[in-house]
Every structure is written in C-alpha cells, then in structure tokens.
Amino acid sequence: MGYRSSAGNLIKDLSAIGVGEDDLHHLLPTHVHLDHSGSCGTLARMFPNAAVRVHPRGEPHLSDPTRLLKGAGEVFGESLMQKFGTPDPISSKRVHSVLDDEQIALGNGVTLRTLWTPGHAPHHLSYLLEETGTLFTGDAVGVYSPAFPVLVPTSPPPSFNLDRAVRSLERLRGLSPVQLLTPHFGLQKNAGQKLEENINALLRWKSKLESLLLCKSSVDAIIAVVTKEICEGTGRSSANLPEFIRTTIRVSVLGLVAYLEWNANQ
C-alpha cells in the first residue's frame, strides 16, 4: 500500500479504474513496515467498508504506530521519515487478525489463501490467489529494480531472522506458484526460479557477511564492500547506484549483521 505520503496517488489510481468508497472490502497489508502499511489508515478512512486484515503481531501497530515510527526513525533517519509521512492510526474495531492458511473469499469464486511467511518480519504474510497461482509475496522476496537489475535481499533490523526467511521461501516454492507479484518491483514470471534465486542470494550474503565479521570489519566497512561488489557485478559505477538501492543495501546489511551476531550468541 505504500507510505503515508503515497496514499493520495493510490486513491487517485483506484478512482481512475472506478473504485468508489463503497467498493473496497479488504485492505491486506502483508506486514506493518511503513512502505507497506503507511497509507493503510488513510485508505481505511476513505473506504469505510473495507476490513483491515493483518497478522496478530502486526495488529497493535496499525492501531497505534508509535513504536513502529520510533523504530523506523532509528534506521532511516529524520529526513527519510519526513518523506515517508506519519501513518494515520486505525480504530481497533476495523482491524482483524488473520492467521496462516486462512481463506478470504473475494467474490465470484475467487479465493485468497493466507501464508505466514516470517523472516523479513515475524508478522509477515504472503497471499496466494489460488485460482491463478499468483503469489503476492510482500517482502518475503528481495528487491529487484528495473532501474538497477540486481537482487538485494530484504533483511532489515530489528527482527529479521535468516532461518525463517529461507524456510518461508522454500514453503512458497513448494506451492508451485505461476507468477510473483512483488512490491519491489512488479510482476515476475518463472516463480520457482525466482524464489530459488532469493534463497541463494540470502545464503551468499550470509557467507560474505560472516567472513567479514570474522575479520572484525565494521558495519560501515561491510556495507561498503557489499555495495562495491553489487556495482561491480552489474558493471556500473557506485555513482550511478539509485538512492533507494543504496538505502536497501545498508538496511539489509544492518539487519543480517544483527541476526548473525544474535545467532552466534545463542
């Protein structure tokens, strides 16, 4: 659903295809990170008949986004937070919990199946449109931008869990989806291959970061190494690296380093 700052564009696009305020019945954020649920409160206000459905662990953050904003601010900084915008809180009466392997009837015989896919976040859900094999992945998969075509895992702090992320991808692959609808960015065919690529990317990052941590590299140094290798792998200069890819690399390194350090201490 995007950031709070993107709500106006989304409402405009829905209006352009004829969706009126009484026509929308479900709002289904895959998880409550700001780039996926920031506009949800605004949309809930604009579409009063829409039930907001989210994993139980995400439910409190939609009703009161205070903790979510604090955590995001520590990662992204004040400048980006101003661009993202502040989410509108949603009345708890509008927010409904949805668990793993539930079915949501969309009408006309169309069914959406919920899939708990933790790893990126413990409250993350993906959705399978069973009649077509179309999988709405959320951030269970990484970023692949047409502007800079390289797969970057989405492993943000503070709650990224590598083992769960890999298991979630393996589960999705086992469902044999036909195509992926990804938030970052767009439709991807050859779904099984794409899911395999995401598993491999996570494992490569794990291996690389473990070796750098063993060398006592600082987090900033690790970010620099990963950024350089990504640019070299695409034959592009780091000067041409889009800012959102640069930010994604930084945040994903921070989350994976935190996980590896936590896991080493268990």
Domain edges within the chain: 1-98, 138-264
Beta bridge partners of 135: 128, 180
138-264 matches 1-98 in CATH topology: yes
Omega prior to 185 cis, within 30 of 0 = yes
Superfamily classification of domain 1-98: Ribonuclease Z/Hydroxyacylglutathione hydrolase-like (3.60.15.10)
- Based on the number of CB atoms within 10 Å of its own CB, is 11 exposed (0-12), middle (13-18) or buried (19 or more)? middle
Rounded to whole angstroms, the Cα distance separating 163 from 118 reads 9
Alpha helices in 77-150 (DSSP H): 78-84
Q: Is the pLDDT of residue 149 over 90?
A: no
pLDDT at site 28 = 97
Q: Which residue type, as a one-letter code, is found at position 209?
A: L
**pLDDT tens-place string over residues 152-163:** 999 999 999 999
Fold of 138-264: Metallo-beta-lactamase; Chain A (3.60.15)
pLDDT band at 175; cut points 50, 70, 90: very high
**pLDDT tens-place string over residues 26-61:** 999 999 999 999 999 999 999 999 999 999 999 999
Rounded to whole angstroms, the Cα distance separating 212 from 249 reads 16
Rounded to whole angstroms, the Cα distance separating 45 from 20 reads 13
> Can you state the angle between helices 219-234 and 191-214, rounded to 10 degrees?
140
**pLDDT tens-place string over residues 101-131:** 999 999 888 999 999 999 999 999 999 999 9
Contact between residue 119 and residue 106 where contact means Cβ atoms under 8 Å apart: no
- Based on the number of CB atoms within 10 Å of its own CB, is 225 exposed (0-12), middle (13-18) or buried (19 or more)? middle
Q: How many residues does the chain have?
A: 266
Nearest to 125 by CA among 28, 251, 203: 28
Rounded to whole angstroms, the Cα distance separating 69 from 234 reads 34
Distances (CA, A) of 182 to 145, 147, 153, 202, 262: 10, 15, 13, 17, 29
